[in-house]
Amino acid sequence: MQTIEPIEHTHTLALASVEDAHNIGCFVRLIGESEGRRAHYSAAIQAGRVVIRPCHLVVVDTSRDPLEVIWRIATRGVIVALAGGDVTLDIGYQRLTTPLLDARPDDEQTTPLAVGDEVLLQGSLREQAKVVDRIVNGQPAHPERLRDALAQVVARHEAPPNA
């Protein structure tokens, strides 16, 4: 299992999997770790009414105590059906059908996605989420793929106002 080192900036940001969630915070497990931690939602998450559920991967500021969730970065789902270019996913609180966009590297696409696979999704689930990785033992098989997305979050989070 690979781990991603936190990115050191003004904040120490890391990827985490949401294990349980409520209206002002959640319980997360940092990618590569086995123990869970308590986290609160940032003011921006709360003001934006961003919904955080146990199917989500998030970016947390580890310099805070408790941790602070600052970004929802991806969604986990289990494939329950594949038909006619569509995928039906169970994301824990609902099942949804969306066009299948397999955005994994070509060498991984030689092993087709199958019913029962747990996958990592990015993008709008209402429109067309893309499968970017498989989930193995509750964690992304290739967590380093989220590093670019995390770097974008860092850039946005630390950009001066009106930049």
Query: From CA 49, how far away is CA 41, in angstroms rounded?
Result: 10
In sequence order, the 6+-apart residues with CB closer than 8 A to the CB of 94 are: none
Phi and psi (nearest 5°) for 137? 55, 40
Query: From CA 122, how far away is CA 63, in angstroms rounded?
Result: 26
Residue 83 belongs to a domain with what CATH number? 2.40.50.140
85 and 115 in a single domain? The answer is yes
| pLDDT by 10s per residue, the chain, length 163 | 444 444 444 458 889 999 999 989 999 999 888 899 999 999 999 999 999 999 999 999 999 999 999 989 899 999 999 999 999 999 998 999 999 999 999 999 999 999 999 999 988 877 777 999 999 988 889 888 887 777 766 677 566 655 4
Domain count, the chain: 2
- Residue 163 in domain: no
56 and 14 in a single domain? The answer is yes
Query: What's the DSSP call for residue 116?
Result: T
In which domain, by residue range, is 123 found?
Answer: 75-140
